[in-house]
């Protein structure tokens, strides 16, 4: 996928570049629009730099809570914000398109509501963060309790498979 914000070729790239000045180097933004930009920047950074390896649920929840993104976009992005790694190909799969769409939607929302650029921000995207989840390294299912790297089913399969090999 070539026309991404990460490649400086997003749909609203000029507006993104201008609005990025509302985002502080560290900490919460002073304006609501700045915190929105900070949230979409976090999602983009997580996708393109970390494979979604860090908890970024606060960013996507903040955007949904402020009507920046639609529920369908949130539903696609959310599962990857709490510890599930993105193993896509970065060639425009559903997840990558959803992150780029979230950026488009947020920028459009700010452009339609220019008062957000000066409206005092009173919350952090981290206020909407949920606990990080752990996932089975074998099948990818969410783990109820983190006491290893595999779910009980995969662990049982591994032990059963090892016992079969010992029988031969």
User: Is residue 6 in some structural domain?
Assistant: no
The verdict on 50 and 102 lying in the same domain is: yes
Give the mean pLDDT of the chain. Answer: 87
The verdict on 37 and 100 lying in the same domain is: yes
User: Is residue 3 in some structural domain?
Assistant: no
The pTM score is 0.80
Domain limits for position 117: 13-133
Distance of CA 132 to the CA centre of its chain: 12
The verdict on 142 and 109 lying in the same domain is: no
pLDDT at 161: 55
Domain count, the chain: 2
DSSP bridge partners of 142: 135
Low-confidence ranges of the chain (pLDDT < 50): none
- The whole-angstrom separation of Cα 38 and Cα 25 is 10
């Amino acid at each position: 996928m070539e026309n991404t914000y990460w490649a400086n070729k997003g749909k609203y790239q000029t507006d993104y570049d201008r609005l990025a000045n509302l985002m502080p180097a560290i900490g919460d933004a002073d304006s609501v629009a700045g915190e929105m930009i900070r949230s979409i920047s976090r999602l983009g950074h997580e996708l393109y730099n970390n494979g979604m390896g860090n908890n970024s649920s606060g960013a996507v929840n903040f955007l949904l809570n402020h009507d920046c993104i639609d529920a369908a976009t949130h539903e696609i992005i959310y599962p990857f914000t709490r510890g599930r790694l993105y193993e896509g190909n970065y060639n425009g799969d559903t997840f990558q398109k959803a992150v780029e769409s979230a950026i488009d939607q947020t920028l459009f929302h700010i452009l339609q509501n220019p008062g957000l650029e000066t409206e005092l921000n009173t919350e952090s995207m981290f206020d909407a963060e949920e606990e990080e989840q752990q996932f089975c390294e074998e099948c990818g299912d969410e783990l109820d309790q983190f006491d290893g790297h595999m779910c009980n089913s995969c662990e049982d399969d591994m032990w059963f498979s090892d016992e079969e090999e010992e029988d031969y």
